[in-house]
Amino acid sequence: MGGVVTSLDVVVFVVMLLGVMAVGLIASWRENTAEDYFLAGHGTRWWGVAGSIFGSNVSANHLVGMMGIGFSIGFAQSHFELGAIAGLMLLAYGFLPVYRKLGLYTLSEYLGQRYGEASRALYAVIMIVIMVFVQMVPGLYIGARSMLHLFDYEAGGDIALQPYILGVFGLAALAAIYTIMGGLKAVIWTDVVQSVLLLIAGLIVAWLVFSHPDVGGWSGMRALDSALAAQDASAAKMRLYLPSDHPDLPWSGALSGLLALHFFYWGTNQFIVQRALSAVDDHQARLGIITAGFFKLLIPFFAIGTGIAVYYLFEAQDVQTDSDAAFSEAVRLVVPTGYGIVGLIGAGLIGAILSSVDSMMNSSATILTVDIYKRYMRPDAGDRELILVGRLAIVVFVTMAALLAALVLDPNSEKPFFLTIVDYQSHLIPGILVAFALGMFWRGATAAGATVAIVAGPLISLLLEWLYDGFSLAGNAVTVGNTEVHDAFFSFSGLAAHSEWLTSTFGPRLNMLHRVGVAVVLTAIVHALVSRITHHDAEKAKLTWTEIGGHRPEVVREIVLQIVVSIVLFGVMAAILVSGVAEWFTPTVAATIASLWTFGQFALRAWRVSKQPQRAGDSPPHLLADDRLWAGVLSALAIWMMFYYA
């Protein structure tokens, strides 16, 4: 073992990189229409949807960041993967049927048809900001930093600025070449290849780490963690549920605000949903979404779990490093040299980088071209003109992102970058999620309500943070000059009296996930109140899940009842586990019951649908071929993990 990069590693890396580029360029042939360029001609099969969704989601932020958070915080980070299954189910069976029935290019178009131009324009601007500045910039940053750690980094040293800048612009140029040439089809094909490389790289690193004598496999890692828990329960890493006052991943936030983030990310996020919109038909789209979910459930084991194993490995080897460098340091420590494995892992890492950056390039360009240029500037623009504008938009966006990543971000920062990214974009999410959700599932939602919600969401989020910090100050006096802040500002309202309970329950500062959960609820109330007192357009109100999807009211009531009963059942089971009133009711027993119940709900629905006449785009009539059964298996596995690792 030694982490020395050999000529064979370089050859493997270059060959893999050239292969990915070739795939993208080959896929770029014959992209003649805007539909070809932005939606891959609606010709994507389920495996293309799955590979592109997984590749777009699991960037270097995941491969490096997830392992880093597993290293620093622990298995609780798995909520980012387990909760994703709920978001994928909402997309597959909630939002997607409406999106596809309306023949959308962008999700902004749905808001435009459901509400009006104001909501459409606001969404377009916000999503461009998120994709370019909050996603693409960090993707280039963590990618260049990780590549330099892997290939050129001396343990204990800092990354020089010049190689880092070259790395950022090199990655940006690589992704831009085939994305500009081939559009979404090139992105999807390269994402599939890059997803395979990512999985291979992640599994190789995981296998080598767990095979190390100082770790002793998954059981050995669990034993090391149990030994640490016996000394200090709060220091253990294999805890899925952390206290409600945990500063990063409290259980209460994971089951509230984080779910809202998942619903936004998977259901209303252009660069994820666009892959499903490109599918051949609804069934292929759903199969692709579900398959991507199965890949997501691997991440707690080969990324987060490996990060925990790396923590104990570094403890035994006396290795000191920050969390975002844990991946590259682990490679240096456990990967044997001379076999090209470092080059293969490097190819997987760069694949993770490119597969996310190219997706954001294409999707941001799609929104700019369709929702801004064609809508407001050139309504009569033809396909060739739209493709040209899309290509120019990619050049502008990737240049801006590369400049910001190279000149603003510090390549030697020790801050956990994954959670930082989520925190930044979480302020923008409540209004968008509420506008989509109420518009999709409530006929009474109005254009004014949606516009106010999208604008008010970030303001409510920022206000909540400011107010909660005020509670905290009220309980922990801060002196400015000769005046205590809480005496000067809070005594008039009596807020200080409540601060002790708040800070002891939820911590001295408002956690991002708690903030998102409360902000979504308050924004939904604002949307509903404004909708009640403003003009209701009966025609626009028809663009809902029940109307467009053709779902009967009794079916909707049945689904809602199933969800409510399941939540109550799981809550009771969790309470029994926590209280310990029944010794026989172990996490294994609870996981088995909960997973069987979950699968049963999907199987029952699949059986009932198989007895009904089929509409175009529905699952095939054969019960075993129904995607709902596979969705049930996926959801059951996620629920099983949530109870088993409790």
Helix, strand, coil percentages in the chain from 3-state DSSP, rounded to 5: 75, 0, 20
Cα–Cα distances (Å) from 195 to 49, 102, 353, 416, 577, in that order, read: 12, 30, 10, 24, 38
Range in 90-94, 403-407, 494-498, 526-530 with the lowest mean pLDDT: 494-498
Q: CB of 268 within 8 A of CB of 436?
A: yes
491 pLDDT higher than 50 = no
Please give the average per-residue pLDDT across 126-154, as a whole number. Answer: 80
pLDDT of residue 155: 46
pLDDT of residue 580: 87
Which phi and psi angles does 481 have, rounded to 5°?
A: 70, -120
pLDDT of residue 110: 95
Tell which residue, 163, 141, 160, 147, has the closest CA to residue 10: 147
Q: CB of 461 within 8 A of CB of 430?
A: yes
Range in 262-266, 420-424, 641-645 with the lowest mean pLDDT: 420-424
pLDDT of residue 512: 92
pLDDT band at 620 (very low <50, low <70, confident <90, very high): low
pLDDT of residue 527: 98
Q: 36-411: which CATH architecture?
A: Up-down Bundle (1.20)
pLDDT of residue 486: 46
pLDDT band at 119 (very low <50, low <70, confident <90, very high): very high
> What is the Cα–Cα distance from 506 to 142, expressed in whole angstroms?
31
Q: Which 3-state string (H, E, C) describes 623-645?
A: HHHCHHHHHHHHHHHHHHHHHHC
pLDDT band at 614 (very low <50, low <70, confident <90, very high): low
Please give the average per-residue pLDDT across 614-625, as a whole number. Answer: 58
Tell which residue, 274, 276, 264, has the closest CA to residue 422: 264
Residues in the chain, overall count:
646
Tell which residue, 591, 548, 630, has the closest CA to residue 103: 548
The proportion of the chain whose per-residue pLDDT surpasses 90, expressed as a percent, equals 46
User: For 61-87, how does the pLDDT look when each residue is reduced to its tens digit (9 = 90+)?
Assistant: 677 778 888 999 999 999 999 999 999
- Residue 52's Cβ-count burial label (10 Å; 0-12, 13-18, 19+) is buried
Handedness of CA 15, 16, 18, 23 (dihedral sign): positive
pLDDT of residue 60: 67
pLDDT of residue 257: 95
Please give the average per-residue pLDDT across 146-173, as a whole number. Answer: 75
pLDDT of residue 513: 94
What's CA 493's distance to the chain center, in Å?
Answer: 39
Indicate the domain borders of the chain.
36-411, 427-549, 552-646
Secondary structure class of 23 (helix, strand, coil):
helix
234 pLDDT higher than 70 = yes
pLDDT of residue 475: 47
Range in 18-22, 183-187, 620-624 with the lowest mean pLDDT: 620-624
pLDDT of residue 414: 64
User: For 294-326, how does the pLDDT look when each residue is reduced to its tens digit (9 = 90+)?
Assistant: 999 999 998 999 999 999 999 999 888 877 778
Please provide the average confidence, as pLDDT, over all residues in the chain: 85
Q: Is 40 left (phi over 0), alpha (psi -120 to 50) or beta?
A: left
pLDDT of residue 355: 80
pLDDT of residue 487: 45
Please give the average per-residue pLDDT across 14-40, as a whole number. Answer: 74
pLDDT of residue 143: 80
- The amino acid at residue 439 is G
120 pLDDT higher than 60 = yes
Which phi and psi angles does 168 have, rounded to 5°?
A: -60, -50
Which phi and psi angles does 126 have, rounded to 5°?
A: -60, -40
pLDDT band at 263 (very low <50, low <70, confident <90, very high): very high
615 pLDDT higher than 60 = no
Q: Which 3-state string (H, E, C) describes 68-133?
A: HHHHHCCHHHHHHHHHHHHHHHHHHHHHHHHHHHCCCCCHHHHHHHHCCHHHHHHHHHHHHHHHHH
Range in 106-115, 374-383, 408-417, 575-584 with the lowest mean pLDDT: 408-417
pLDDT of residue 418: 61
